[in-house]
Amino acid sequence: MNTFGFYMIVFSIILMLAISVLGYLFSKRQMKNNDSYFTAGRNITVAFMTATFIAYAVGTGLIFSPAESAYLDGMTAMIGYALALSIAYLIFIPISRRIKELLPAGNTIGEFVKARYGNFMFIVVLFVIVVYLFCLLVANLIGAGIAFQYLGGMPIYAGVLIIGIPVMIYTTYGGLGAAIFTNSIQAILLTPLLFVVAFFAFRNLGGTSAVYEGVVKNAPELMNIFHASGMEFALMIIIAVCSAELLNQALWQRVYSAKDFKVVKKGLVNASIMTFPMAIIAGVFGLIAISMGMDLPHTSIGTALVAHTVLPEWGSMLFVLVIVLATTSTGSDALAAFSSTASLDIMKSLLPNMDPKAAVKVARISTIVFAVVAMLVAFKAPSILQILLFADLAAAAAVVPVIAGLYNRNITGKLAATGTIAGLVLGIPLYVIGENLYSFVVAIVISSLIVFIGATFSKVGYNFDQLKETIKSLD
């Protein structure tokens, strides 16, 4: 461990302790009943909603992956990633309205799927949700781990544990309320810090023209807006991110927690506006790495290594804080989302008469188990981008069957499950052999064809009013 690594540990621990204590105090004050653990009291306002959507987006997926995509596939890939994050929030607006209308007392995606489609599709969707949330948490822990490894000269597990343990503790205690409150702190700090770091990085490099000239010199094809691999990646990531976010328990949870639909809509619009420039700024660090001729030891570490190389030590430390804030924000969201799924979907299916207090206890225990397993996997440090893409692919196969079930009365549980499974079975092999774009297209198209063609011959006619009768708040 070098001297900078020592300071990384000190400042990170101080920041994590501060966030954890504030999250604990807020949760203690706001925990009015057991339902509050899962839905934060259902009274979240616009300011908190905006902050939590921004903080959720600005995880390692935004800090590291746009730069990784720019480094590998160029400017078009970077722009595609930024568009994906922004567009996903806009597409979610009308869907969130429908969720709020049909499920005013909802808690999870799983309970909707079970009520709407039955047990078979419920099990399939639970698999998809758990895989997605696990990959999301692991990716964020990897971001922390590789930053501490390559910047501070520490083993990867040091960063994973320094970030993972405090996040596990405050999310276990406070649930969704703790995640949303700490998100607001993280968003307030993250946004200006990212812009400040980028400003000084460009200034120290001689401006944007110097970066552009360096990329043109070292890899001119990556600055071509019509570069084939860049265009393919951009299309793929837009499909991937939009699919994943529409079927994301963390986002559905925020819809349930909002005071009303207007709060959700304003929060999503505000976050959509903010995440685009933030993703572009993060992605530019990948282009800077190319312009400097850097040979990255790990493709996901480009953003952090560039910041560490071109900034003075204080600037590099600021960027470490950006990484810490980013990993904790989305990491806590993934944990809070899983706790609801584990308790209210999985365990309640096994113990239907489980009382609200026991549900919270189960949620807390499952949060700890989930976090520990994720930390163990994160020690292996696969590519952040690749692990997120795999999670997105799982969501892509299920997104149309689930979302269509909010609108179409004629889709049955067998159709939805068949479509999802077919999308997974045909999409995953394509992903494994490196056909990323085709894997997503096949997963979505196949699942869509099965549910919509099947629905034209179905005469079920589901009554959506049943959802309000079936799905109730915890207390």
Amino acid 32: pLDDT: 65
Helix locations, 103-155, DSSP H? 109-117, 119-152
Residue 276 has pLDDT above 70, yes or no: yes
Report residue 402's pLDDT band, with 50, 70 and 90 as the boundaries: very high
Which residues, at least 6 apart from 82, have a Cβ–Cβ distance to it below 8 Å? 66, 275, 276, 277, 279, 280, 283
| Residue 313 counted as domain residue | yes
Shortest CA distance to 241 belongs to which of 45, 392, 417? 392
pLDDT tens string 233-259: 999 889 888 888 898 888 898 898 888
Nearest-5° angle of CA 171, CA 172, CA 177? 45
Instruction: Calculate the average pLDDT of the chain.
Output: 85
- Helices 109-117 and 249-257 cross at an angle (nearest 10°) of 100
Dist CA 363 CA 344 (whole Å): 8
Dist CA 350 CA 331 (whole Å): 27
Query: How many helices (H) and strands (E) would you count in the chain?
Result: 21, 0
> Residue 448, CB half-sphere, CA atoms under 13 Å: how many?
11
Of 298 and 426, the structure prediction assigns the larger pLDDT to 426
Which residues, at least 6 apart from 273, have a Cβ–Cβ distance to it below 8 Å? 86
| Residue 341 counted as domain residue | yes
Q: Is 406 helix (H, G, I), strand (E, B) or coil?
A: coil
Residue 64 has pLDDT above 90, yes or no: no
Report residue 79's pLDDT band, with 50, 70 and 90 as the boundaries: very high
**DSSP secondary structure letter of residue 58:** S
Which residues, at least 6 apart from 261, have a Cβ–Cβ distance to it below 8 Å? 96, 97, 100, 101
% of the chain beyond a pLDDT of 70: 95
Amino acid 9: pLDDT: 85
| Residue 297 counted as domain residue | yes
Q: Is 295 helix (H, G, I), strand (E, B) or coil?
A: coil
Amino acid 263: pLDDT: 93
On whether the CB atoms of residues 282 and 290 are closer than 8 A, the answer is: no
| Residue 95 counted as domain residue | yes
- For residues 334-373, one letter each, b for 16 or more C-beta atoms within 10 angstroms of the residue's C-beta and e for the rest, the string is bbbbbbbbbbbbbbbbeeeebeeeebbebbbebbeebbee
Max avg pLDDT among 14-18, 121-125, 147-151, 165-169? 121-125
Shortest CA distance to 324 belongs to which of 173, 85, 151, 172? 151
CATH of the domain at 361: 1.20.1730.10
Report residue 474's pLDDT band, with 50, 70 and 90 as the boundaries: low
Expressed as residue numbers, the domain containing 200 is: 3-384
pLDDT tens string 403-456: 999 999 999 999 999 999 999 999 999 988 888 889 999 999 999 999 999 999
Burial (CB count <10 Å: 0-12, 13-18, 19+), residue 240 = buried
Report residue 31's pLDDT band, with 50, 70 and 90 as the boundaries: low
Mean pLDDT of 77-89: 92
The whole model's pTM is what?
0.86
On whether the CB atoms of residues 8 and 317 are closer than 8 A, the answer is: yes
pLDDT tens string 84-123: 999 999 999 999 999 999 988 888 899 999 999 999 999 9
Residue 217 has pLDDT above 70, yes or no: yes
- For residues 421-439, one letter each, b for 16 or more C-beta atoms within 10 angstroms of the residue's C-beta and e for the rest, the string is bbbbebbbebbeeebbbbb
pLDDT tens string 347-368: 888 877 777 788 888 888 999 9
Dist CA 307 CA 303 (whole Å): 6
Dist CA 284 CA 291 (whole Å): 10
Dist CA 288 CA 310 (whole Å): 10
| Residue 178 counted as domain residue | yes
Amino acid 443: pLDDT: 93
Query: Which two structure tokens, joined as six digits, stand for 17?
Result: 């302790």
Amino acid 203: pLDDT: 81
Residue 189 has pLDDT above 80, yes or no: no
Dist CA 401 CA 125 (whole Å): 10
| Residue 332 counted as domain residue | yes
| Residue 459 counted as domain residue | no
Domain count, the chain: 1
| Residue 61 counted as domain residue | yes
pLDDT tens string 302-336: 777 887 787 788 877 887 887 887 788 778 888 88
Dist CA 324 CA 7 (whole Å): 13
